[in-house]
Amino acid sequence: MPIRILLVDENKYESLLTKCALIDLGFEVTDVVNNYSDTQAAVQKAQPEVLIISMDADAVHSIISADKAREKNPELGLVFLTHTPDLRLIGLSEKELPSGVQVVLKSSVTKLHVLSDAVHRSIEDLKIRAKVRWVNGSTFTQSEAFTSVLQTLTEVQIQTLRLVAMGSSNSDIARKRMVTEKAVEHTITRILQALSITSNPNHNARVLLSREYYRWVGVAREN
């Protein structure tokens, strides 16, 4: 019997592509949900063996939805899809994810063996309560899924980068981090150096940092 899969992705186009890939692999896609709030009802109705859920639209709600689904079915395998190679960029840590979770970069979904392995591993790893497993285009790994550049950034630098990209001023960031504006300026300078970004008359440093952030996160910034 084919493994029964429920797919949750608020991006209708990407969910269609993923569904087609899963069907090509011989899995049974019991339903496709395009709203996190509908996940629980779909889990109860479809009784899937594996839940594949995209994190990109709302990472926090995707985790909440997965946790509630796992409560209904403790044997439910979980696969998270994301464009982001480092969860810190969207304000998360791997410790917040349920056990046995497979995290698949969406850039790898077109490589069918990656998606297939993630589905099967989600069931196997749950049995042994394994830690989060990252999936890239060729093999399972955690560290190799991150770019070498992202690995050089500290938690404070990642947080500051996120706040800059979201439009926060230096004074806003200073208040949130409870530090001086000078400290924020120093952190931003260190980020620019780490990313080899140089400001110029046509593009200031904050704009360039924002572009870099959204390139990594894999979404376009809303105007």
DSSP secondary structure code for residue 92 in this structure? -
Q: CATH 3.40.50.2300 occupies which residues in the chain? A: 4-145
In terms of pLDDT, which residue wins out, 106 or 201? 106
Q: For residue 90, report the phi and psi dihedrals to the nearest 5 degrees.
A: -110, 20
First-residue to last-residue Cα distance in the chain: 47
Q: How far apart are CA 140 and CA 11, in angstroms?
A: 25
In terms of pLDDT, which residue wins out, 128 or 199? 128
Residue 199 has pLDDT above 90, yes or no: no
pLDDT in the model for residue 219: 53
Average pLDDT over residues 86-90: 82
pLDDT in the model for residue 212: 78
Superfamily of domain 4-145: Response regulator (3.40.50.2300)
Question: What is the largest distance, in Å, between two alpha-carbon atoms of the chain?
Answer: 62
pLDDT in the model for residue 138: 43
Residue 196 structure tokens: 């080899």
Contact 87, 43 (CB under 8 A): no
* pTM flag (> 0.85): no
Range with the lowest mean pLDDT among 76-80, 111-115, 173-177? Answer: 111-115
Query: Domain 148-217, what fold?
Result: Arc Repressor Mutant, subunit A (1.10.10)
Q: How far apart are CA 38 and CA 195, in angstroms?
A: 40
Average pLDDT over residues 176-190: 92
- Among residues 12, 31, 101, 33, the alpha carbon closest in space to that of 63 is found at 101
Residue 52 structure tokens: 């594949």
- 5-26 per-position pLDDT tens digit: 999 998 898 899 899 999 999 9
pLDDT in the model for residue 205: 81
Residue 220 structure tokens: 């376009």
Contact 135, 114 (CB under 8 A): yes
Q: For the chain, give the percent of residues with pLDDT over 90.
A: 43
Average pLDDT over residues 197-222: 71
pLDDT in the model for residue 173: 93
Contact 41, 85 (CB under 8 A): no
Residue 196 has pLDDT above 50, yes or no: yes
Average pLDDT over residues 100-126: 87
DSSP secondary structure code for residue 138 in this structure? S
Residue 65 has pLDDT above 70, yes or no: yes
Q: How far apart are CA 166 and CA 81, in angstroms?
A: 22
pLDDT in the model for residue 194: 83
Average pLDDT over residues 201-215: 78
Q: CATH 1.10.10.10 occupies which residues in the chain? A: 148-217
Instruction: Look over the chain and give the mean of its residue pLDDT values, rounded to a whole number.
Output: 84
DSSP secondary structure code for residue 35 in this structure? -
Residue 45 has pLDDT above 90, yes or no: yes
- 129-164 per-position pLDDT tens digit: 888 888 764 444 444 434 567 778 888 998 898 899
